[in-house]
Structure 1
Amino acid sequence: MNTATATKSAARVADAVKVYGRGDTAVRALDGVDVTFPAGRFTAIMGPSGSGKSTLMHCAAGLDTLTSGSAFIGDTELGKLDDRRLTLLRRDRIGFVFQAFNLVPTLTVAENITLPLDLAGGRNGRSAGEWTDALIDVVGLRDRLHHRPAELSGGQQQRVAVARAFAGRPDVVFADEPTGNLDSRSGEEVLNLLGRAVRRMDRTVVMVTHDPVAAAHADEVVFLADGRLVDRMESPTADKVLDRMKAFDSKGAPA
């Protein structure tokens, strides 16, 4: 990891509040969250069901808006962008990997991977081609480029989705339960792939997960409970994360 990059913020939220509904039915999904996702790092977001982890990711990525507080990609404050500029920012500076692979069934693997670049008008020319070529090797899909999604296993489809997310060299890739539809072996391959993208290609990943084994692939885990950031863990292991999650069940917050 590039130590100079590690101190830079890829994404962050400040005093983030998100309220759904009004009056007696209002739900405070985020309650004054301050968290920074460093560039060049793999960060996992965990917490009990309803803790606000997916809401945090959606607001940090500009897929949803905060009720109050601020969200930034780099130094750009998302709340100050109009719809057009926010759409362009998500296209050019953010990658997404979802539980459902969201591939275009009529396109080949190669076409699915380069789709963000094609939508952006083929930015970066030759350097984009070189980057995509290197990415294909990182995700191990060289022999599948002319196949369509229906001809691939679930794990292979998610590897295509990961490659597509990184194709435009985004500032940060947000992954929402990326192994949720995969068996343990395929899930492990995808998690190793995300880790390699961070460490070999100096990328940034923020992943929401409920799985301690998945979280153990990250450099750091941030824990939410009741819409608040309650703990952080560097160099996580599956056992340490599981112990921390058990504390939520027994006490409502980590010990």
Structure 2
Amino acid sequence: MTAARVVDAVKTYGTGDARVRALDGVTVGFPGGRFTAIMGPSGSGKSTLMHCAAGLDTLTSGTAWIGDTELGALGDRQLTLLRRQRVGFVFQSFNLLPTLTVAENITLPQDLAGTGTDREWVDALIDVVGLGDRLRHRPSELSGGQQQRVAVARALAGRPEVVFADEPTGNLDSRSGEEVLRLLGRAVHDMGRTVVMVTHDPVAAAHADEVVFLADGRLVDTMADPTAEKVLDRMKAFDSSRDTGRGTAPRQRVTS
């Protein structure tokens, strides 16, 4: 099952001489029950791809799907409901409400939707993120790593079909980042969720089951069973390609 996908995705910004083609005909699917990382040089289109696949932005042409639902066919209200009910989000800046406790932040999306909270599921999440003794604390009383773990629990609380994480370790030290990455991995492999993560960090990408690489708005490579060393070597190949003036690195598929 494919949890999310884009087909012939094109996204442009601006007009005339200022026109930028952030996505240039990308087709890629993100399998259900898997952890996929999106990588590429700065300006490669990786965050644009995530935002369009998640319904946070619209494509100029092509289609984006969550499960069997085409996002472009939905009105604004339908799209809002889909994001609320079927998609989870984790961002670099945590986005916790400072006036709410940890427990209230975790269940906030369900409280706003009026759908009720699955206490058994939420209690299991709290156990997984290891914050049972912090439920009455507010975000300002937590470390950055603890705040991001709350954000991950909030993203998972509604049992979404897919969680999109945009540089989730970008504001964290290496130890806290490792804790968050392990948590995302557990969400996939122990709890059956789907995670799609944008990152610039080869160490973070090594936690994924597969890495997809973008360059100049195009899908140019995929790598199964990544390691930090293999990902770093692939990123160096992009830099070498650009430095020697050859343009985008040729598409390859790395499977070991």
Question: TM-score of the superposition, structure 2-length normalised?
Answer: 0.94
Segments of structure 1 that go 5 or more residues without pairing to the other structure are 1-7
In the TM superposition, residue 122 of structure 1 has moved relative to its aligned partner by 3.1
Match of 2:199 among 195, 209, 212: 209
Residue by residue over 1:173-202, the C-alpha shift from the partner in whole angstroms, topping out at 9 and shown as x without a partner, is: 000000000000000000000000001100
Match of 1:77 in 2: 70
Match of 1:31 among 11, 15, 24: 24
Q: How does 1:168-179 map to 2 (within 5 A)?
A: 168-179=158-169
SS at match of 1:201: coil
Match of 2:146 in 1: 156
Cα distance in 2 between the residues matched to 1:67 and 1:122:
33
Match of 2:217 in 1: 227
User: 2:23 corresponds to which letter in structure 1?
Assistant: L
Cα distance in 2 between the residues matched to 1:200 and 1:54:
27
Cα distance in 1 between the residues matched to 2:189 and 2:74:
31
In the TM superposition, residue 25 of structure 1 has moved relative to its aligned partner by 1.1
User: 1:42 corresponds to which letter in structure 2?
Assistant: F
SS at match of 1:51: coil
Q: How does 1:234-245 map to 2 (within 5 A)?
A: 234-245=224-235
Residue by residue over 1:204-240, the C-alpha shift from the partner in whole angstroms, topping out at 9 and shown as x without a partner, is: 0000000000000000000000000000000000000
Runs of 4+ in 1 over 3 A off after TM superposition: none
Cα distance in 2 between the residues matched to 1:167 and 1:203:
11
In the TM superposition, residue 21 of structure 1 has moved relative to its aligned partner by 0.7
Cα distance in 2 between the residues matched to 1:120 and 1:72:
22
Whether 2:119 is the aligned partner of 1:132: answer no
Residue by residue over 1:16-74, the C-alpha shift from the partner in whole angstroms, topping out at 9 and shown as x without a partner, is: 00010111111000000000000000000000000000000000000000000000000
The number of aligned residues is: 245
Identical counterparts, % of pairs: 83
Cα distance in 2 between the residues matched to 1:61 and 1:243:
29
Cα distance in 1 between the residues matched to 2:215 and 2:83:
27
Match of 1:190 among 171, 176, 180: 180
SS at match of 2:26: strand
